Amino acid sequence: MAGFAIQQRALFKWLAVAAVVEWLLVRTFTRAAIHVPKSSFMISLYAAVNQIGLVAAAFVALLAFVLLLGLAWQTRQAIILPLTLLGLALLSVLFLFAVPPAWLAFTYQLLAILAVLLIASTGVWARRSEPEKKKGWQGTAVALFPAGALLAGLLVQLLPNLHALLGWPGPPPFTNVLFNLGELFVVASVIIWWWASRSLNGRTHSWKPWLLAAFPALLFSLSFWRDPAMTGILTIWSTGLTLFLPWPVYALALWLAGVTVLANWHSRPTLAYAILLLIAGGYVPQLSSQLFCALIGLWLLQRPLCRNQAHPVQRRLSASLPVESSTAFGKLKKTPTS
């Protein structure tokens, strides 16, 4: 079982890395490059980068599909959740061959909403059953806030199909309010992740993650300062965010997200992979592969965020010491080794 868990974590790692590559190349770099004058060399480079991104997108779609089926099998005793995930997977395959009518697209979106609710509620009830009385608010908020963002985005997609099925006049009311609410959840999720990670570590992050994560935040800030309109368009294309809040809020969120991922990449990789998958999936996922990445990321946030296994020498030295175990951003509890 330990070997299987390690192999599965490696698959999550490859999915997260490939999803980020697809996000940066296909939905960010190539779209930004269409406004740059191109020589023959630049055209060849643009085509090569685009091909790499498309290969990464195909890899993400296949691996996310397989891992979603794997999650359905792992959670098969829950019955409703695996059936929901299986329904999403089967409908995504069907949509490759036929344009879905409104009722079938509505069914797919309902299944997606149900999957988010089930995954989020599973983590909440698991923490309520913990013996510790002081579990802290981070363990619940770390998954509920991104779940709220996903739910808001999925409802924005569902409402037009609901109006079409019922013959109601459009556009659906409160769509803009719901969309902006979900965007607030996106920004708040990043702050929650950073704060919960900081609390779990028991200290502030070192200066290296802060320095490295500052580069993308600075690049975004410079781009917005130079051309706010174009930066807003590219941000919508890339992440789905409209930037209706003041731009420093998004720069800070980008910085904190980078710090959290870099600070936990080796110590708590599950958290880092989950954040990357949710970011790469984007707000209001447009493709099944993006939705699957977001669902897998949300599921990973429910897993125990334990540190990697220590080096063999360290394991021998600490064999007689208490071992720290933890659930997702819960209180650390020391248990004796056997």
Q: Please, what's the b/e burial string for 15-34 (b: 16 or more CB within 10 A of its CB; e: otherwise)?
A: bbbbbbbbbbbbbbbbebee
Whether 28 maps to a domain, the answer reads yes
Residue 319 CB neighbours (<10 A) = 9
Whether 256 maps to a domain, the answer reads yes
Whether 333 maps to a domain, the answer reads no
pLDDT for position 335: 44
Whether 102 maps to a domain, the answer reads yes
Residue 285 to residue 151: CA distance in whole angstroms: 11
Collect contacts of 62-65 with beta carbons under 8 A, ≥24 apart.
Answer: 63/11, 63/14, 63/15, 63/18, 64/15, 64/19, 64/289, 64/292, 64/293, 64/296, 65/89, 65/92, 65/289, 65/292
Whether 224 maps to a domain, the answer reads yes
pLDDT for position 95: 93
Would you give the distance in Å from CA 218 to the centre of its chain?
22
Q: Tell me, what DSSP letter sits at residue 25? A: I
Whether 251 maps to a domain, the answer reads yes
Number of alpha carbons in the 13 Å side-chain half-sphere of residue 221: 12
Residue 244 to residue 253: CA distance in whole angstroms: 14
Token pair 């643009």: residue: 46
Token pair 């984007």: residue: 282
Number of alpha carbons in the 13 Å side-chain half-sphere of residue 306: 15
pTM for this predicted structure:
0.85
pLDDT for position 325: 38
* CB contact at 8 A, 304 and 289: no
* DSSP H or E segment with residue 324: strand 323-325
pLDDT for position 20: 95
Whether 328 maps to a domain, the answer reads no
Number of domains in the chain: 1
φ, ψ at 45 (rounded to 5°): -65, -40
Residue 232 to residue 224: CA distance in whole angstroms: 8
Whether 316 maps to a domain, the answer reads no
Range of the domain at 108: 2-305
Written as tens digits, the pLDDT of the chain (338 aa) is 555 566 778 999 999 999 999 999 988 888 887 777 778 888 888 889 989 999 999 999 999 999 999 999 999 998 999 999 999 999 999 999 988 898 999 999 999 999 999 999 876 665 555 544 444 555 678 889 999 999 999 999 999 989 888 888 878 888 999 999 999 999 999 999 998 888 766 556 678 899 999 999 999 999 999 889 889 988 998 999 999 999 999 999 999 999 999 999 988 899 999 999 999 999 999 999 999 999 999 999 986 554 443 333 333 333 333 333 333 333 334 444 43
